[in-house]
Amino acid sequence: MKILSVNGSPHKDRGNTYIIVKAFLEGARMEGAEVIDEIFLQDKKIGYCLGCYTCWSKTPGRCIQKDDMEEIIEKVLSSDLLLLSTPVYIDGVTAQTKTFLDRLIPVLQAYFTTVDGHCRHRLSVKKMPALFLISSCGFSEMDNFSAMVESVKKACKNLYMEYKGQLLRPAAHLMRLKEKYEAEVKVILDAAKEAGRQLIKYGRVSKEIEEKVSIPFCEKEDFIKETNRLWDIFIKKRKEE
């Protein structure tokens, strides 16, 4: 299986989301998956969709903008699985991730059809890859992922991509406190690696493994106290720069 990893975090491989991504890809490689590329959207020049419909009319399948998205779409179409990773920003994906998803519309046609009784644009390419989502969040409650996950699932339906599941990590910044939460972090990373292995071997990730990636570190009061302490350190450091 060919995997294309697309990361929408502005922190790229230094972000909390990538901690899970890295472990997942390690597990996928263990089962023989080929990671054709790891794309960090923050490094790419990708303009906002102009809504001009040129890709549906004048130059079908090709955007009027000549930027990095042209090459990225080619890689998307050559993959079997799109591993989409993004932190939660204001209950949704990051701006980088949303722009990437918007700019995938050249794979569609202007004309409508019905799929399972719902209006969709027709697909203009032979086949789209499946999609697996990895996301992190600073808050501790799992419902902070709800709107974002639902939005990505709906995007998958419109883009004819099979949604293969997700790994969601709340209170993600606490993973960096490895000395304090060593046991918890090990469970999370082992589970993320197993998720990658399972998806390649079985085509799905078990509910048990998904839940292990999301395990709580501590009680909410302790979480808030620890988080605020980390913010004090960060703000002080930035002021001294």
pLDDT single digits (tens) 189-239: 999 999 999 999 999 999 999 999 999 988 999 999 999 999 999 999 999
The residues spanned by each domain of the chain are 2-240
94 Cβ contact partners less than 8 Å away, ≥ 6 residues apart? 8, 9, 10, 86, 87
CATH class name, domain 2-240: alpha beta
* Percent of the chain residues topping a pLDDT of 70: 100
Please give the model's pTM, rounded to 2 decimal places. 0.96
Give the pLDDT band of residue 84 (cuts 50, 70, 90): very high
> H/E element holding 167?
strand 163-169
Q: Token pair of 3, please?
A: 């995997």
Nearest to 16 by CA among 149, 138, 197: 138
Kindly state the average pLDDT of the residues 36-47. Answer: 98
Place of tokens 């490689």: 29
Q: What is the distance between the alpha carbons of residues 226 and 79, in angstroms, rounded to a whole number? A: 41
